[in-house]
Amino acid sequence: MSSFNDPHFDHLVIFVADLETAIQDFNGLGFSVARGGSHGLTENALVLFSNQTYIELLALKPAWKNPMARLLNWLGIPRWLYRQKGNIYCRLIGWINADAGPVDWCLRTQNLPAMLDHWERAGHRVLEPEHFSRQQIDAGELHWRLGGADNPDLPILLEDITPLHQRLIPVNDDIHANRATRLLEMRIRVTDKAQAYMAVTQALASDLGNSDLHIGGVRISFTEEADAHKFSLSLCYPGRETKLLNSEKSHGVLIRLVPDRQ
């Protein structure tokens, strides 16, 4: 029986100004990029890893970039409307109000209602979950639910409706030209490190003390360093030395390739 403490790291979301440019940039860094498809006002592409995690490159469709839509968004009207409803859209709409770059992270769970109930009992303002779908480029339609809280230190929660393997196609370790295999660690810049750590461990019903926070095999850490990137990723690869990828091409995410010690 699944419970609220069964989450797995799913993906990091990078909001990009132009999807084609972002795909070319990540190709240039040695990543294989799979086109995801269309959902709502957005379209995406995925950088998949062998431990069922990925980087999502997310962009608005051209229709949302017209002057009137941009004005309404700049005035904050869509976000205000969604906040009145109290659903997950009031957090997601913040992605397109922010500057391009990494905007959020997502965990997947098999029991979204149980996790949200736990978060609410822990004192968080829970946002009502919503159903989402995406039409894939060369396949059928995917369906999932998203939920979460208005606390920015907490991740978005995802529960698949269609089978996971349809959304996250299994990939081999040799998929990327730069030889990246799996996501090992993600570091997040926050305002208050202790507060963020407490919020996440409490939300995941973890009693970790001073030990590292691991979610589905991915280490999560926090930093208050003002000059740190908002999100930093460490990816395993079969090399001998740590490599830092060109940050001008990674759209605001610091990406390191680190030797696989496994």
pLDDT (tens digit per residue) in 67-98: 545 545 554 545 544 454 567 887 887 777 66
- Which residues, at least 6 apart from 169, have a Cβ–Cβ distance to it below 8 Å? 34, 48
Position 119 in a domain: yes
Q: Which residue has the tokens 């605001």?
A: 252
Q: Which residue has the tokens 């970039």?
A: 65
Domain final position from 167, 202, 218: 167
Contact criterion met (CB below 8 Å) for 57 and 16 = yes
Position 107 in a domain: yes
Beta bridge partners, 255, equal 233
- Which residues, at least 6 apart from 219, have a Cβ–Cβ distance to it below 8 Å? 184, 185, 186, 212, 213
pLDDT (tens digit per residue) in 205-253: 765 544 568 898 899 999 999 999 999 999 999 999 999 999 889 999 9
Domain final position from 134, 167, 200: 167
Domain final position from 167, 195, 222: 167
Radius of gyration of the chain (CA): 18
Burial of 230 (0-12, 13-18, 19+ CB in 10 A): middle
Q: Enter the tokens of residue 171.
A: 């990939």
Going by their DSSP bridges, the two strands 101-108 and 54-60 should be labelled as unpaired
Do 118 and 221 have their domain in common? no
Q: CA-CA distance, 113 to 128, in Å (whole number)?
A: 10
Number of domains in the chain: 2
Q: What is the CATH number of the domain that holds 69?
A: 3.10.180.10
What pTM was estimated for this model as a whole? 0.89
